[in-house]
Structure 1
Amino acid sequence: MNQNTPKMLNRRSFLAASVAMIGAPAIGQSVNTTQMEADVSSTVRRNISSFRSLTWQPYFSSLRNGAVLVDIDSRALHFWSADGKTYRLYPSSVPMSEGLTRRGRTSITRKVVGPSWSPTANMLKRNPDWPRYVPPGPDNPLGTHALYLGWKYYRIHGTHDKRKIGRKSSSGCIGLYNQHIAELFSLTKVGTQVLLI
């Protein structure tokens, strides 16, 4: 054994430890992944930057009436029931640009099964070929259910176009798969608090 041996071992130990530390977050993520996170399809995973469970306490002072948190950056919607026993995490579509994005606190003001849709004046300026009215059904961009928010024209709704989920693809609303909006619809009520961050 020459006098350089301890230095080589130290270098090797350092490199091995560095590689282990770099891999640790990925290992930790897979170990702590919830069933909801594990159920997200690989297509959605490619479209979102982050999809992880959160706790409600940093965002709400209480769970009175239940709580919905929409994280625009991670393209995820979180729901907590008023008693704290039910938590849901859904991939979502979010607005195409920051200019179309609304952030802040509001609440659910109305719930509609089979919503109709009419584009706003600004939407028609951008897309003059769009129809002025779309009745409920498979061609409706609001999908099967809509939760109307306290802000005019803003909704959390379903979509028949599954390619939109996990993407920046809406004109301001938050979109969910139809099966997810149906579940969220059943869990929420008028007055459920909503925060978009």
Structure 2
Amino acid sequence: MSDAFKITRRAFASTALASTAVGGAALAQQTNDPALFEQLKKENISNPETGAVKRNISGFSNKDWRPYFSNTKNGVILVDTLSRALHFWSEDQSVYKLYPTSVPETPELTRTGRTKITRLRVGPDWRPTPNMLKRNPDWPKYIPPGPDNPLGTHAMYLTWKYYRIHGTHDTRKIGRRSSNGCIGLFNEHIEELFNLSKVGTQVLLI
């Protein structure tokens, strides 16, 4: 690998990941762990100069699937982009999980509505979209699986082109508006969700 390519990869890792929905150890295996809530609360502060909220857990609480789905066939995933949380219910409703997420940076990048999982992949590779390359011409056009990959260790592909639920190696992005459209989870959490989900799992973003 050339030194120039190494420099490009390092620059991408330090700058591109900051704006991509893309792990270090997670704060807790389940987000209703009191220790995780306390950590998120400590970081849920505003910048006194800009007023920017670092993290948002104001609406981070358990939900019921019934207001959002008519059934739980194949399992269901609800992504709440306001509280930056992902909810999962198994088909037989015996398993419920709640995870903190990263969400799109702006309303223009945020897509809501119903979709489903079409593909599951361990060790995903990644290519920036044409629009991403227009905005960031110095980005590499391809990132193989590994620690530099914005999709983390696992990715779940949706019917919407370019949209995914995936892991991240940059844990600072969880709980923030930090992606170009995708939903990111801690690698430990996406691995657990990956193993609970399947092709056909229903997904709703609100």
TM above 0.5: yes
Distance 1:141 1:62, change over 3 A: same
**How far off is 1:113 after superposition?**
0.1
Deviation at 1:43, TM superposition (A): 4.5
1:168: which partner in 2? 177
Q: Which stretches of structure 1, 4 residues or more, deviate above 6 A after TM superposition?
A: none
CA shift, 1:38, in A, is 2.1
The answer to whether the aligner puts 1:73 opposite 2:69 as a matched pair is no
Against the structure 1 CA distance between its residues 122 and 189, is the aligned structure 2 distance closer, same or farther, given a 3 Å change threshold? same
C-alpha contact (below 8 Å) 1:93/1:170 kept by paired residues: yes
Q: Please name the residue that 1:101 is paired with.
A: 110
Contact 2:103 2:181 in 1 (8 A): yes
Q: CA-to-partner distance for each residue in 1:81-100, whole Å, 9 max, x for gaps? A: 00000000000000000000
2:40 matched residue in structure 1: 44
The gaps in structure 2 that reach 5 residues or longer are 1-29, 45-54
Aligned to 1:110: 119
Q: Secondary structure at the match of 1:40?
A: helix
What TM-score results when the alignment is normalised by the length of structure 2? 0.77
Aligned position for 1:152: 161
Shift of 1:40: 2.3
RMSD of aligned residue pairs (Cα, Å): 1.4
TM-score (norm 1): 0.80
> 1:114-125 to 2 correspondence within 5 Å?
114-125=123-134
Matched residue type, 1:134: I
Offset at residue 39 of structure 1 (A): 4.2
Q: Which has the larger radius of gyration?
A: 1
Q: Which has the bigger relative contact order, CA under 8 A and spacing at least 6?
A: 2
Query: Greater helix share, 1 or 2?
Result: 1
Give, as a single letter, the amino acid of the residue that structure 1 aligns with 2:137.
P
Question: How many pairs align?
Answer: 164
Question: Structure 2: which amino acid aligns with 1:196?
Answer: L
TM-superposed deviation, 1:41: 4.8
Residue-by-residue CA offset, 1:110-145 (whole Å, 9 max, x unaligned)? 000000000000011111111100000000000000
Q: How far off is 1:50 after superposition?
A: 2.1
Q: 1:107 to 1:81 in 2, by over 3 A?
A: same
Conservation of the 8 A alpha-carbon contact between 1:96 and 1:168: yes
